[in-house]
Structure 1
Amino acid sequence: MIQVLVVDDEALVREGFSHILNAADDIKVVGAVPGADAVRAVRELRPDIVLLDIRMPDVDGLTVLADIRRFQEPPVVAMLTTFDTDEYVTAALRSGAAGFLLKDTDPEQLPQLVRALARGGPVLSSKVARTVVDGYLDAGARDPSAVRLTARLTERERDVLVLVAEGLANTDIGDRLHLSTGTVKGHVSAVLNKLEVSSRVQAVLIAERAGLLAPSKEEDAG
């Protein structure tokens, strides 16, 4: 059972997300609290996943994210936002957020996205990925610092990183590359260490900036 904590200052949002997720057989919302109660709730409820509003009137979502990331075994945190562009996205990804979800995400997709987070995959709502992430990465231009970082990776580690970018869990990566799950975990840890990041999303962003990921069809056409 995937245990989820919803953090948002709007009661309607908390209730809506709780209702949708609790309808799934494998997901349980263990708490739904405003931002001021987030850190205490994480400490007491020990959720697997935290869905955290990035903009709250009583406390900054980035501050809450930083506090949660200081836990010895922090849960996976995905940020919630109302807008498909948000100036806080870059800071949140660099601070260890595992993804971004729009609050108007299709209810049918929401449980799937939570499952992807639980598997360790990076999760970015399509609108966020296109209008925010691609934008701040300056798509089409390779970042020299990212190229230098990815040059540290072995060929196998690059293969693993590309599959992480596809959102695959360790078991799925192992099946694809004919490796044990333990071996994949070792490769993922090595990738994060060599890229000097703390989350899969951050690693994927560096891979994107370094030009390791397959270009889109639009880029192919150009």
Structure 2
Amino acid sequence: MIKVLVVDDERMVCAHLRTILSSAPDLEVVGEAYDGADAVEATVRSRPDVILMDLRMPGVDGIRAIERIRRLPAPPRVLALTTFDLDEYVLGALHAGAVGFLLKSTPPEDLLDLVRVAAAGHTVLSSAAAGRLLAQAGNVPQARDLIGSLTDREVEVLESLGAGRSNQQIARRLHLSEATVKGYVSRLLVKLGCANRTQAALLAREAGLGPDR
């Protein structure tokens, strides 16, 4: 059972998401919160696996809430909720530690599947949207400097992260065991100073690595 916390300052949105999520036998909504401060408290209280986090909220916004949640022991996976995929808040949320983002207009069946993908440890980020977001970031030289310290194999793994591949897909592509890939990913996160594989994927794209290289 995947435990989900829903955070949005619009109670109608929370109710809508709860209805969709509760329709799945493997998903359980363990709570709702209506601002960032409540979200942190609800996370400690209900220990969700995945949080759907609105970004634009009064008081403590979603980005600051994500930063606080990431500092908790064994933090959950956080998906940013946004109305538009060009929302300037999204890039801030990803750098704060969100593992991806969902549009509030996402069809119900897709929403359920993407929550499962996030819970399984994968990135939820469309290639097109990522490209547009990174065009706003402008950190290409810094990203390339960081990647310059990596081995050739580490660069190959990072390129696959930038392409949105799972550990299993990377293992097949590079003819490695999945355990070996996990080791490479862990070392990459440390070397690059990334909180999670989503941040590493963003950095890879900033440096020009990924599916279109």
Q: TM-score, normalised by structure 1?
A: 0.85
Q: Which residue of 2 aligns with 1:150?
A: 147
Q: Is the CA contact 1:116–1:167 (under 8 Å) kept in the aligned structure 2?
A: no
User: Mapping of 1:113-132 within 5 angstroms?
Assistant: 113-125=114-126, 128-131=129-132
TM-superposition CA deviations, 1:139-173 (whole Å, max 9, x none)? xxx82221121122222222222332333333343
Which residue of structure 1 lines up, in the alignment, with residue 195 of structure 2? 198
Gaps of 5+ in 2: none
| Aligned residue in 1 for 2:83 | 82
Taking the aligned partners of 2:190 and 2:165, their CA distance within structure 1 comes to 19
**Unmatched runs of 5 consecutive residues or more in structure 1:** 217-222
2:197 maps to amino acid? R
Mapped contact 2:162–2:211 kept (Cα < 8 A): no
* Amino acid of the structure 1 residue aligned with 2:9: D
Question: 1:6 corresponds to which letter in structure 2?
Answer: V
- How high is the sequence identity, in percent, across the aligned residues? 50
What are the residue-to-residue correspondences of 1:44-55 with 2, within 5 Å?
44-55=45-56
How far apart are 1:49 and its partner, in Å? 0.8
How big is the shift at 1:126?
A: 6.3
Q: Report 1:20-35 matches (<5 A).
A: 20-35=20-35
Question: How far does residue 68 in structure 1 lie from its aligned partner after superposition?
Answer: 0.5
Alpha-carbon RMSD across the aligned residues, in angstroms, is 2.2
Distance 2:45 2:156 in 1: 38
Alignment counterpart, residue 209 of structure 1, candidates 174, 199, 206? 206
Separation in 1, partners of 2:161, 2:120: 11
Q: Structure 1 residue 92 and structure 2 residue 89: aligned? A: no
Task: Determine the C-alpha separation between the residues in 2 that align with 1:8 and 1:126.
Answer: 25
Q: Kindly tell me the number of residue pairs found equivalent between the two proteins.
A: 212
- Alignment-mate amino acid for residue 204 of structure 1: A
Q: In 2, Cα distance between the equivalents of 1:192 and 1:170?
A: 14
Deviation at 1:43, TM superposition (A): 0.5
SS at match of 1:123: coil
Residues 102, 125 of structure 1: 8 Å contact kept: no
Q: What is the CA–CA distance in structure 2 between the aligned matches of 1:118 and 1:92, rounded to whole Å? A: 18
- 1:91-120 CA distances to partner (integer Å, 9 max, x unpaired)? 222211111211111222111211221222
